[in-house]
Structure 1
Amino acid sequence: MQIVRYPDRKNWKETLKRPAFDTSSLNQTVSDILNKIRERGDEAVIEFSQKFDKVVLDNLQVSDAEICEAENLVPDELKEAIRTAKNNIETFHNSQKVELKKIETTKGVVCWQKSVGIEKVGLYIPGGTAPLFSTVLMLAVPAKIAGCREIVLCTPPNKEGKVNPAILYAAKVAGVDRIYKIGGIQAIGAMAYGTETVTKVYKIFGPGNQYVTAAKQLVSLRDVAIDMPAGPSEVQVIADETANPSFIAADLLSQAEHGADSQVILTTTSEDIINEVVKEIEKQLPLLPRNEMAKKALDNSKLILLKDEQEIIDMTNEYAPEHLIIETADYMNIAEKIVNAGSVFLGHYTPESAGDYASGTNHTLPTNGYAKAYSGVNLDSFIRKITFQEISKEGIHNLGVTIEIMAETEQLNAHKNAVTLRLKD
Structure 2
Amino acid sequence: MLKVYNYNELSEAELEQLTQRNTDSGNEIRETVEQILANVKQNGDQALRDYALAFDKVTLNELFTGEAEIAELAGQVSDTQKEAIKTAYQNIFKFHQTQIHPEEKVETMPGVTCWRELRPIEKVGLYIPGGTAVLPSTFLMLGIPAKIAGCKEIVVCSPPQKDGKINPYIAFVAQLLSIKKVFLVGGAQAVAAMAYGTESIPKVDKIFGPGNQYVTKAKTIVQSTTVTAIDMPAGPSEVLIIADETANPVFVAADLLAQAEHGIDSQSVLVSTSKKLIEETIVELEKQLPVLPRAEITKKAITNSYAVFTDTFSVAMDFSNRYAPEHLILATDNWQQITDQIINAGSVFLGNLTPESAGDYASGTNHTLPTSAYARAYSGVSVDSFVKKITFQHITETGIQNIGKTVEILAELEGLQAHKNAVTVRL
Place the TM-score, normalised by the shorter chain, in its bin. over 0.9
Q: 1:162 aligns with which of 143, 160, 165?
A: 165
Runs of at least 5 residues in structure 1 that lack an aligned partner in the other structure: none
Equivalenced residue count is: 423
In 1, the alpha carbon distance for the partners of 2:285 and 2:54 equals 39
Contact 1:144 1:175 in 2 (8 A): no
Q: 1:17 aligns with which of 19, 44, 58?
A: 19
TM-score, length basis structure 1? 0.96
Say yes or no: does 1:284 pair with 2:285: no
Contact 1:49 1:186 in 2 (8 A): no
Contact 2:21 2:372 in 1 (8 A): no
Q: The residue matched to 1:360 in structure 2 has which SS? A: coil
Q: 2:107 aligns with which of 104, 107, 111?
A: 104
Say yes or no: does 1:235 pair with 2:236: no
Say yes or no: does 1:253 pair with 2:257: yes
Say yes or no: does 1:218 pair with 2:241: no
Q: Deviations over 1:107-131 (max 9, x none)?
A: 1111111101111100011112100
Say yes or no: does 1:153 pair with 2:161: no
In 2, the alpha carbon distance for the partners of 1:239 and 1:160 equals 44
Contact 1:245 1:276 in 2 (8 A): yes
Q: CA deviation at 1:176?
A: 2.8
In 2, the alpha carbon distance for the partners of 1:369 and 1:184 equals 22
Alignment of 1:58-73 (within 5 A): 58-73=61-76
Q: 1:401 aligns with which of 398, 401, 405?
A: 405
Contact 1:157 1:183 in 2 (8 A): yes
In 2, the alpha carbon distance for the partners of 1:302 and 1:361 equals 27
In 1, the alpha carbon distance for the partners of 2:21 and 2:37 equals 27
Instruction: State the partner residue of 1:323.
Output: 327
Instruction: State the partner residue of 1:5.
Output: 6
Q: The residue matched to 1:384 in structure 2 has which SS? A: strand
Q: CA deviation at 1:315?
A: 1.5
Instruction: State the partner residue of 2:395.
Output: 391
Give, as a single letter, the amino acid of the residue that structure 2 aligns with 1:100.
Answer: E
Q: Deviations over 1:22-77 (max 9, x none)?
A: 18323233223322322332232223322322222221121122111111111111
In 2, the alpha carbon distance for the partners of 1:97 and 1:282 equals 46
In 2, the alpha carbon distance for the partners of 1:276 and 1:172 equals 45
Q: 1:10 and 1:77, CA in 2 relative to 1: closer, same or farther beyond 3 A?
A: same
In 1, the alpha carbon distance for the partners of 2:352 and 2:316 equals 18
Contact 1:238 1:327 in 2 (8 A): yes
Runs of at least 5 residues in structure 2 that lack an aligned partner in the other structure: none
Q: The residue matched to 1:16 in structure 2 has which SS? A: helix
Give, as a single letter, the amino acid of the residue that structure 2 aligns with 1:18.
Answer: Q
Q: 1:176 aligns with which of 150, 157, 179?
A: 179
**Identical columns (%):** 55
Q: CA deviation at 1:173?
A: 0.9
TM-score, length basis structure 2? 0.95
Contact 1:150 1:177 in 2 (8 A): no
Contact 2:22 2:213 in 1 (8 A): no
In 2, the alpha carbon distance for the partners of 1:26 and 1:320 equals 23
Return 21-30 or 136-145, whichever deviates more.
21-30
Q: The residue matched to 1:340 in structure 2 has which SS? A: coil
Say yes or no: does 1:411 pair with 2:415: yes
In 1, the alpha carbon distance for the partners of 2:68 and 2:119 equals 33
Instruction: State the partner residue of 2:205.
Output: 202
Q: CA deviation at 1:231?
A: 2.6
Instruction: State the partner residue of 2:383.
Output: 379
Return 11-20 or 245-254, whichever deviates more.
11-20
Alignment of 1:339-378 (within 5 A): 339-378=343-382
Instruction: State the partner residue of 1:267.
Output: 271
Q: The residue matched to 1:73 in structure 2 has which SS? A: coil
Q: CA deviation at 1:9?
A: 6.8
Q: The residue matched to 2:62 in structure 1 has which SS? A: coil
Q: 1:272 and 1:291, CA in 2 relative to 1: closer, same or farther beyond 3 A?
A: same
Q: Deviations over 1:152-180 (max 9, x none)?
A: 10011123311111111112212335311
Give, as a single letter, the amino acid of the residue that structure 1 aligns with 2:5.
Answer: V
In 2, the alpha carbon distance for the partners of 1:4 and 1:144 equals 46
Contact 1:259 1:297 in 2 (8 A): yes
Return 310-319 or 249-258, whichever deviates more.
310-319
Q: The residue matched to 1:220 in structure 2 has which SS? A: helix
RMSD of aligned Cα (Å): 1.6
Q: CA deviation at 1:137?
A: 0.1
Q: CA deviation at 1:300?
A: 1.9
Q: Deviations over 1:340-382 (max 9, x none)?
A: 1110101111000000000000001111111111101111011
